[in-house]
């Protein structure tokens, strides 16, 4: 469709926005008008899209994932383990990742995300066995083909068992190789400005798989290239123990020593920060990706989201990798976060709107994109439209609350930068059955080794 053609998303059944009861008008990839109750668009020539059966959300934003893990879901060898033994069971399987398998794993993850109403996703790819040097290039190509907005990270691991780390020697790279490739992919793919579709961040994997030297050098490189920084932190008690044993301090102190405690950084998990540490995070502008499903599956703990927000820390949502979720459904993640945080803080502190806010505006702060995650004038035309036409919604009252409380899991329509990429529950130009056949075959080949 001509991007200059205005579209009026007309008379939604529900909408997660103020002053837009009659919908929104989008043009050239932006929201150009909110139409109030009883009003009509001032924009001339807008084509109406009848949204009377749809609940409209800002496109959801996924702030943490490992796409390749769709190839190792529900793997018996890794099931029923906590993080460290879970990782140790999976590293040898992941070491067999090929470019073809990665391309399929990424396609499946992005397809799942799009169909769950996600319009922008990050990915934390840190496994680079020999032959997979082009992992980020592969991911960029899939994102472009599917029309999804992405913040892909050039992840890394360089502390293997040989150096007191957790991963085997076969999945790590040396520091010079990592830094040179980080610079290469930023130069080649990172777009700047509010309309950016592809961005790159730098993302050493975790304190127990990366050296201090690489943590420091990566922060310096991100500063020089002006890109964001990401890593896992404060996920488990085991990590606390590792940090105290190896570095003589807690994970946040270590992060600060490495030059990471600033607004460029968003962290996956953030479960084990104490009150003083939350204050430091809030002051620094560092944000947190809350991964409710993963934290429950690995029994890691519960991120104190309300305490974080009260300390001024921005919180977004992430599905995390598919070996610890094991789905890539961000709408289901909204419900999981809502349930987990409500159980922790009570009915007065956590509503369905809080959970939706975390997955949209909260996540936008994590990825450093304030122009995303909100239905408001001038923001990106990234929208997710859900129908309430399944049995689970029958008899609902409030349509917006029904999405979270009844368990919406599949968007009917998804718009990214003003273009429909999902229509009638299907991704434009993607043969899902064929993708599943090839992806399943690749997963089986990896799992049997």
Residue 438 CB, shortest distance to Zn ion, in Å, is 25
Size of the site for Zn ion (CB under 5 A): 1
Q: 277: how many CB neighbours lie within 10 A of its CB?
A: 21
Which of residues 126 and 393 has its CB atom nearest to Zn ion in the complex? Answer: 126
Q: 196: how many CB neighbours lie within 10 A of its CB?
A: 17
Judged by CB under 5 A, the stretch of 28-36, 313-321, 374-382, 441-449 that binds Zn ion is 313-321
Judged by CB under 5 A, the stretch of 255-263, 301-309, 314-322, 389-397 that binds Zn ion is 314-322
Q: Are strands 383-387 and 413-416 parallel, antiparallel or unpaired?
A: antiparallel
Residue 159 CB, shortest distance to Zn ion, in Å, is 17
Residue 232 CB, shortest distance to Zn ion, in Å, is 5
Residue 95 CB, shortest distance to Zn ion, in Å, is 17
d(CA 266, CA 369) in angstroms, rounded, equals: 12
Which of residues 182 and 289 has its CB atom nearest to Zn ion in the complex? Answer: 289
Judged by CB under 5 A, the stretch of 95-103, 158-166, 259-267, 315-323 that binds Zn ion is 315-323
Which of residues 340 and 383 has its CB atom nearest to Zn ion in the complex? Answer: 340
Which of residues 55 and 136 has its CB atom nearest to Zn ion in the complex? Answer: 136
Residue 178 CB, shortest distance to Zn ion, in Å, is 18
Closest CA to 237 of 214, 210, 217, 208: 208
Which of residues 142 and 293 has its CB atom nearest to Zn ion in the complex? Answer: 293
Provide CB contacts within 8 A for 4, sequence distance 6+.
Answer: 27, 28
Judged by CB under 5 A, the stretch of 71-79, 258-266, 316-324, 366-374 that binds Zn ion is 316-324
Q: Are strands 413-416 and 419-423 parallel, antiparallel or unpaired?
A: antiparallel
Which of residues 34 and 268 has its CB atom nearest to Zn ion in the complex? Answer: 268
Cβ atoms 154, 202 nearer than 8 A? yes
Residue 88 CB, shortest distance to Zn ion, in Å, is 15
x/- site string to Zn ion, residues 319 to 338, per CB under 5 A?
Answer: -x------------------
Residue 206 CB, shortest distance to Zn ion, in Å, is 8
d(CA 144, CA 130) in angstroms, rounded, equals: 25
Judged by CB under 5 A, the stretch of 81-89, 100-108, 211-219, 312-320 that binds Zn ion is 312-320
Q: Are strands 14-15 and 198-204 parallel, antiparallel or unpaired?
A: unpaired
d(CA 227, CA 153) in angstroms, rounded, equals: 10
Which of residues 33 and 320 has its CB atom nearest to Zn ion in the complex? Answer: 320
The separation between the first and the last C-alpha atoms of the chain, rounded to the nearest angstrom, is: 45
Which of residues 320 and 326 has its CB atom nearest to Zn ion in the complex? Answer: 320
x/- site string to Zn ion, residues 235 to 274, per CB under 5 A?
Answer: ----------------------------------------
Which of residues 266 and 386 has its CB atom nearest to Zn ion in the complex? Answer: 266
d(CA 343, CA 306) in angstroms, rounded, equals: 12
Which residues of 30-174 form beta strands (DSSP E)?
Answer: 30-35, 47-50, 54-58, 60-62, 118-125, 149-156
d(CA 90, CA 92) in angstroms, rounded, equals: 6
Bridge partners of residue 387, in order along the sequence:
54
Output b/e per residue, 128-154; b: 16+ Cβ within 10 A: bbeebeebbebbbebbeebbbbbbbbb
Give residue number: closest CB to Zn ion: 320
Residue 308 CB, shortest distance to Zn ion, in Å, is 18
Tokens 């890539």 map to which residue?
328
Residue 124 CB, shortest distance to Zn ion, in Å, is 6
For residue 31, cis peptide bond before it (omega within 30 degrees of 0): no
Name the residues that contact Zn ion, by CB under 5 A.
320
């Amino acid at each position: 469709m001509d991007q200059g053609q205005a579209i009026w998303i007309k008379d939604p059944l529900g909408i997660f926005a103020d002053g837009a009861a009659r919908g929104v008008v989008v043009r050239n990839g932006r929201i150009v008008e909110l139409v109030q109750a009883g009003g009509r668009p001032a924009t001339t020539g807008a084509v109406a899209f009848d949204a009377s059966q749809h609940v409209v959300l800002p496109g959801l934003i996924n702030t943490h994932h490992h796409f390749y893990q769709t190839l190792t879901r529900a793997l018996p060898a890794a099931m029923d383990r906590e993080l460290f033994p879970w990782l140790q069971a999976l590293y040898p399987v992941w070491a067999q990742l090929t470019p073809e398998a990665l391309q399929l794993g990424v396609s499946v993850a992005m397809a799942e995300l799009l169909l769950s109403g996600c319009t922008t996703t990050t990915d934390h790819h840190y496994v680079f066995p020999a032959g997979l040097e082009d992992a980020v290039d592969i991911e960029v190509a899939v994102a472009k083909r599917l029309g999804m907005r992405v913040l892909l990270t050039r992840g890394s691991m360089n502390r293997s068992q040989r150096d007191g780390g957790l991963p085997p020697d076969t999945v790590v790279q040396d520091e010079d190789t990592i830094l040179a490739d980080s610079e290469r992919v930023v130069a080649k793919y990172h777009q700047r400005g509010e309309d950016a579709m592809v961005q790159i961040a730098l993302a050493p994997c975790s304190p127990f798989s990366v050296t201090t030297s690489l943590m420091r050098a990566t922060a310096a490189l991100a500063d020089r290239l002006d890109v964001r920084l990401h890593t896992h932190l404060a996920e488990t008690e085991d990590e606390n123990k590792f940090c105290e044993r190896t570095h003589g301090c807690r994970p946040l102190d270590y992060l600060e020593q490495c030059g990471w405690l600033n607004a460029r950084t968003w962290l996956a998990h953030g479960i084990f920060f104490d009150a003083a540490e939350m204050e430091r995070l809030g002051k620094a502008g560092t944000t947190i990706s809350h991964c409710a499903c993963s934290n429950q599956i690995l029994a890691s703990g519960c991120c104190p989201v309300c305490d974080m927000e009260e300390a001024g820390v921005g919180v977004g949502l992430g599905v995390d990798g598919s070996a610890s979720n094991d789905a890539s459904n961000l709408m289901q993640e909204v419900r999981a976060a809502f349930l987990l945080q409500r159980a922790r803080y009570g009915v007065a502190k956590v509503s369905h709107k809080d959970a939706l806010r975390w997955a949209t505006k909260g996540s936008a702060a994590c990825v450093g994109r304030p122009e995303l995650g909100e239905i408001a004038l001038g923001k990106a035309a990234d929208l997710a439209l859900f129908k309430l036409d399944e049995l689970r919604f029958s008899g609902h009252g409030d349509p917006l609350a029904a999405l979270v409380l009844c368990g919406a899991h599949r968007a009917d329509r998804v718009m990214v930068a003003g273009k429909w990429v999902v229509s009638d529950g299907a991704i434009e130009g993607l043969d899902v059955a064929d993708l599943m056949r090839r992806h399943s075959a690749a997963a089986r080949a990896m799992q049997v080794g």
